[in-house]
Amino acid sequence: MGKQRVSVILFDGFQLLDVFGPVDLLSCLPDLFEIRFLGPENAPVASSPGFAVSVTDRRDAPPDPDIVLVPGGLGTRTLVQDEPFLAWLADYASRASLITSVCTGSAVLAAAGLLDGYRATSNKRAFDWVTTHGKSVDWIRQARWVEDRNRWTSSGVAAGIDMTAALIRHLHGAEVAKKASDFLELEVHPDPAWDPFAR
């Protein structure tokens, strides 16, 4: 397996750690993953804390993705009603071999129809809102992350890091995943069912 392109979907009000937790871990393996940041324009995109992040590609001229990552954040509340964006995401993500989300990013995937017929999870504080999206999603409340075929969805914010470690393990084996987490001095939770926040 060669280098895989990870397309991170940026939008106004995305949660910083939803993006940069996974990205920092993937960036420890530059021979295996190429990170791209997709935005609506060439201009930087503001996160929910206010820090703006530069884009590498506009949505209207995106690179072919191997992995799509949709973060959560306050901006998802309006994004789930943005029909042109949802139609674009449904088309674009369908080209990827893996479709992933962190936190309330799963609401966006569900609103785009990308989780219909799949098991999924999300942030427990926003769970009741998230689960109003999608037509036939099997929402799992107690889960750090859920893997269902080529859909990977994580619980709130920091859970995206554990999901990413599991994804690396799935793609490249335990030794490679440990190399990345050790580089960050990160102790990951390897059990997807570990979820004290669901109580």
Q: Which two tokens stand for residue 72?
A: 């959560």
- C-beta of residue 193 within 8 angstroms of C-beta of residue 141: no
Catalytic site includes residue 28 = no
- C-beta of residue 14 within 8 angstroms of C-beta of residue 20: no
Q: Which two tokens stand for residue 8?
A: 């991170």
Type of residue numbered 64: D
Type of residue numbered 107: A
Q: Which of 25, 68, 103, 114 is catalytic?
A: 103
Question: What is d(CA 164, CA 176) in angstroms, rounded to the nearest whole number?
Answer: 12
Contacting residues for 198 by C-beta, under 8 A, at least 6 apart: 124, 141, 142, 143, 155
Q: Which two tokens stand for residue 17?
A: 């750690």
Residue-level length of the chain: 199
Q: Which two tokens stand for residue 61?
A: 């001229």
Write down the number of H helices and E strands in the chain: 7, 11
Active site residues: 103
